[in-house]
Amino acid sequence: MNFGPSAPLVGNGPYNRGGKHYISDRTEPYNQNPVFFSHPANLGQIAPYIFLLLDVFIIDTHTHIYLPEFDADRDDMLQRAISRGVQRMLMPNIDIASIDSMLAVAAKWPLHCFPMLGLHPCSVPDEPGPLLEQIGELFEENHWVAVGETGIDLYWDKSRIGQQRESFRRHIEWSLRYNLPLVIHARESFHEIFVLLEEKPYPGLTGVFHCFSGDAETAAKCLSFEGFMLGIGGVLTYKKAGLPEVLKEVPITRIVLETDAPYLSPVPFRGKRNEPSYLMYVLDELSKVYELSPEEIALQTTSNATRLFTRIP
Ligand SMILES: [Zn+2]
């Protein structure tokens, strides 16, 4: 799969780009009427760029909305996200204990919330073999939209690097065997990740470097893996992170949106619980970086995400 600069700017369907409205060839059973999609800071008033969306929505490609942080208000929180245009939310798994709560959310919101299967690098035990076997068997069930999250985390724990490598290699195998994109968590570990991805040729491997916050050189290296995208979230709004400068070298065709909720809230909610409806702030920031309207950013990143996560409707 080629997501490079030659990839089409906007995905599959015919779009009417002549007027204010973008119309795709999708039909959404729950979205028959025009939806007003507004910046959360301007709810209740006419926002400068409230846009009328016939069928434009955005996808939060990485959100842990099944965690206990959302137990008290999950339904309200999801309604808020959906009403602001975040129509799809992809849920990366953490460990064996989180699977049931994730599947419960997916069952309750089947048009909006989709589960992945994997083992977070910080949850890899001393002896990962039996746990990886157990998770591997669950791939025979058919509801997963991606493999993850996996990767290497050397920030929290350097002692289990061997086990993390073993787990990551297994996730690459699952990704290829089940034809699902790989969702990679890299924390102080890009070098390790690149070495593992280049250990063997993995033709057809696709995925996302989730919560990307590296420098320009690292971004270029990530994008040298043709089937991969960068997941961009709240870190974009953190001044010190310098991500806007880095993204100037990254084609918009290689970016997907994510919150990593409940973590990494964008400014002005930094330090508080994050939730999918806050993606508007990331969209806003991306629109400044790329000098495109929020509608165009929404269209393009949604098109990117649906090319990558081929199992979501
Ligand atoms: Zn995550």
Give the DSSP letter string of 69-92.
GGTTTHHHHHHHHHHTTEEEEEE-
Q: How far is the CA of 67 from the centre of ligand 1 (A)?
A: 11
Residue 60 and residue 257 in contact, taking contact as beta carbons nearer than 8 Å: yes
Residue 117, SS3?
A: strand
Mean pLDDT of the region 247-271: 97
Residue 8 reports pLDDT greater than 80: no
Residue 34 reports pLDDT greater than 90: no
Predicted pLDDT of residue 106:
97
What does the alpha-carbon distance between residue 243 and residue 267 come to, in Å, rounded to a whole number?
14
Give the full edge-to-edge strand order of the sheet including 86-91: 58-60, 86-91, 113-115
In tens, the pLDDT along 69-109 reads: 999 999 999 999 999 999 999 999 999 999 999 999 999 99
Residue 184, SS3?
A: strand
Predicted pLDDT of residue 55:
64
Predicted pLDDT of residue 23:
31
Mean of the per-residue pLDDT values for the chain? Answer: 86
Mean pLDDT of the region 8-16: 38
- Angle value at C-alpha 89, between 116 and 193, nearest 5 degrees: 50
Q: Report the run of H or E that residue 302 belongs to, with start and end.
A: helix 294-308
Residue 151 and residue 186 in contact, taking contact as beta carbons nearer than 8 Å: yes
Q: Report the run of H or E that residue 255 belongs to, with start and end.
A: strand 255-257
Structure-block tokens of residue 247? 């993204």
Q: How far is the CA of 148 from the centre of ligand 1 (A)?
A: 9
Q: How far is the CA of 184 from the centre of ligand 1 (A)?
A: 9
Select from 109, 160, 166 the least CA-distant residue to 135.
Answer: 166
Predicted pLDDT of residue 157:
81
pLDDT category at 179 given cuts 50, 70, 90 is: very high
Q: How far is the CA of 52 from the centre of ligand 1 (A)?
A: 31
Residue 42 reports pLDDT greater than 90: no
Residue 235's contacts (CB-CB under 8 Å, 6 or more residues apart) are 211, 213, 241, 243, 264
Q: How far is the CA of 149 from the centre of ligand 1 (A)?
A: 6
Which has more confidence, 32 or 151?
151
Q: How many CA atoms lie within 13 A of 255 on its CB side?
A: 30
Residue 25 reports pLDDT greater than 50: no
Structure-block tokens of residue 304? 């990117």
Q: Report the CATH number of the 35-308 domain.
A: 3.20.20.140
